Chains A and B, each alone.
Chain A
Amino acid sequence: MTPDTPTDLDVVLSSRARLARNVAGIPFVHRTTDDQRRLVMTRVTHALDAAATDVEPLDWIDLESTSSLDRRVLYERHLISRPHADATGPRGVAVASDAAMSVMVNEEDHVRMHAIAPGLSIHDCFARVRRLDEAMEPHVGWAWHHQWGYQSACPTNVGTGVRFSTMLHLPALRLTRELDKVRQAAKDLHLAVRGYYGEGSESSGSFFQVSNQITLGNSEDELLDVFLTSIMPGIINYERAARQALLKRDRTTIADRVLRDLAVLRNAQLVKADEAMRRLSMIRLGICIDLISDVKLQTVNTLFHEIQAGHLQQTAGTSLTQDESRAARATLLRQRLGTS
């Protein structure tokens, strides 16, 4: 395994590696009492503190005493899941200073740690969570079975407990109506395809999260190699070919589409979140195929977080009505994208 620098940023928005772990001797979260959940939090935070001498320290956030707005912002940043944000009872999350790694406590499993990074960079993500897992383990004791490996509430996570995923931007495959082929290929290879916010979310702005479904029977490194070599190059090259085909077939039409979307967002006064995601997706495509040169890719990538309702309210410092939220989103987009 070699360290990776982020690559394929034109198609891969981000990479993610996740480990599911449970504390030995305590029922899984959905069967625990509040006292048992507090015990889990005590054991895990102790392990995190002890691990901080070997790995980076993380900031602890007690979600039970955190406002719904702050929980929503954490969710929009992919640091916690929607169920974790909306749940009640003792639970929390530990977050790295760069907001690129977090440890959810008392979500579906006692512990779910994940790291995220731009582009195709799963090796680095996995190395980061593995270091944390190894540093925590002597201080907490994970539930482990001689046959089934690391035990999880859900049988789909048993064994290694590892889940690799990439957030792919596939606007050309969507425009050419070839996404079904990708879905079928992924299904055949035991890979799951989900939306922008993971399980249960619709694909928004042509973003698709692809992840391994099998966690048992192969080592972590073997699972990662299979994930990276079996389908990732194929999907990335398929999307690139679709982009070139669009340009070759009708450059004017695709240029009109992406520049029109840019013009709308540079001038609109009220913008819904869905509309913003859809138009930003096309602008991102325009940047990647050199039809737009005065907007940076990183600007658009950041906007996908910043235009969400929670982020807008946090920036405003007050709750916003629907119209106020749409106006604030439009203002932000005009500022970031520059007026024409």
Chain B
Amino acid sequence: MKCDQCNRPAVVHQVIISNGTHREIHLCEIHAAEAGVPNPGKQPINKLMAKVSQPVQTAVMPTCPTCDTTLTHIRKSSLFGCPDCYDAFAQATRLIIESVQGGADQHVGRNPQNIATDNTSRYESKRLVEELDRAVRAEQYERAAKIKAKLAMLAEQRPLEDKSDDS
């Protein structure tokens, strides 16, 4: 959804109910700041939720700019609306995930193949060695050859990554 005053994405959405009439305002971060309207995405979750639950006639409803899911909906359903919700509600996302993941706040483990970080390749090498061992034991030699080729590629990439880390 776009800002009422320009073409930038709206980050602040207000529903104003006054004397029985209903009016919606959608503003980008810049125009919201100019109008003196606080950006709810930058407030602590407890203040935000307190504001949402206050029995006032102006309700602030932060929404994901990609899928229009509201934070209230996420909290009620325990489901994100789309991958962009994670960053659209960054503070709330951290609180929600930490509360159900035993306090963990960083992914460790396999990464997508096109995201080659040093940790990824080290992890990948260890895993491939294990997989190679299993393939040889199972006498799956064609598969073993493919795994060896992957290991060789990783070994070639490693010095480049180490070098780039130093720069």
Contacts and interface: CB of A to CB of B under 8 A. Distances in A.
A137 B112 contact: yes
A323 B115 CA distance: 58
Nearest to A130: B110
State which size class the interface on A falls in: 35 or more
A145 B104 contact: no
Contact of B100 (A1, A30, A130, A155): A155
B106 to A, nearest CB: 6
B94 to A, nearest CB: 9
State which size class the interface on B falls in: 35 or more
A322 B82 CA distance: 43
Interface in A71-112: 108
Contact of A31 (B67, B108, B134): B67
A219 interface: yes
Interface of chain A, main secondary structure: loop
A27 interface: yes
A216 B93 CA distance: 14
B79 A142 contact: no
Interface in B76-126: 77-83, 86-87, 93, 96-97, 100-115, 123
Contacts of B83: 22, 24-25, 28, 143, 145, 151
A190 B102 contact: yes
Interface stretch (A156-164, A194-202, A244-252, A300-308): A156-164
Contacts of A233: none
A211 to B, nearest CB: 14
Nearest to A124: B134
Contact of B97 (A30, A148, A222): A148
- Give 6 closest A-B pairs by Cβ, nearest first: A217-B104, A149-B107, A219-B109, A27-B82, A143-B83, A216-B101
Interface of B: 66-67, 69, 77-83, 86-87, 93, 96-97, 100-115, 123, 127, 130-131, 134, 137-138
